[in-house]
Amino acid sequence: MPYCASDVAASLRASRRHFLRHLVGLAPDQWDWKPYPECMSVRETLAHLVCDDRAALEALQTGREPDYAAHQEAERDIEALRGMLDRSHDMLCEAIERDLVDKAIDAEVSAYGAPVKLGALAVILCSEDYYHAGQVAYIRQATDPSWDYYQAIYGD
């Protein structure tokens, strides 16, 4: 079976699971720690990913550059953000599966307002999760040198 929209959504779900594994066992003081002022904290990163999901969905639905300001999330409660993140990501993946199901791998779709081939959409959208997973890993290792990255992310 050729690569299709459901494969794009599956890739997005896998990249988000990878990101979320980095949050397991995060200490309370690690949620807001920053290596320098301009860097996002883990808490801010959750709100940022909610915005990214919403903006990506808007771009897919309209074909235009999303209104990022309209998707900014002010919530900072961790549990509330986690719920919002799950919902925003589910909505994005469901829209991809539903609205792009009949598109060919080389069909043009909108990624944050830029036209891309459906086959490239997973790479573009997944890169956000992998990039921010790296940020969380850095914060964890900088604040707890005993944190075993490989065991925590790839272990049992």
pLDDT for the residue numbered 1? 76
Work out the mean pLDDT of the chain and round it to a whole number: 96
Segments in 63-117 forming alpha helices (H):
68-71, 78-99
Domain count, the chain: 1
Q: Is 80 exceeded by the pLDDT of residue 156? A: no
Q: What is the domain range of residue 92?
A: 5-33+40-154
- For residues 10 and 87, give the distance between their C-alpha atoms in angstroms, rounded to a whole number: 16
- For residues 75 and 90, give the distance between their C-alpha atoms in angstroms, rounded to a whole number: 19
- For residues 96 and 19, give the distance between their C-alpha atoms in angstroms, rounded to a whole number: 20
Q: Is 80 exceeded by the pLDDT of residue 13? A: yes
pLDDT for the residue numbered 120? 95
- For residues 121 and 138, give the distance between their C-alpha atoms in angstroms, rounded to a whole number: 27
- Nearest to 40, CA basis, from 150, 133, 152, 104: 133
- Nearest to 42, CA basis, from 128, 137, 125, 130: 137
Q: What is the CATH number of the domain that holds 60?
A: 1.20.120.450
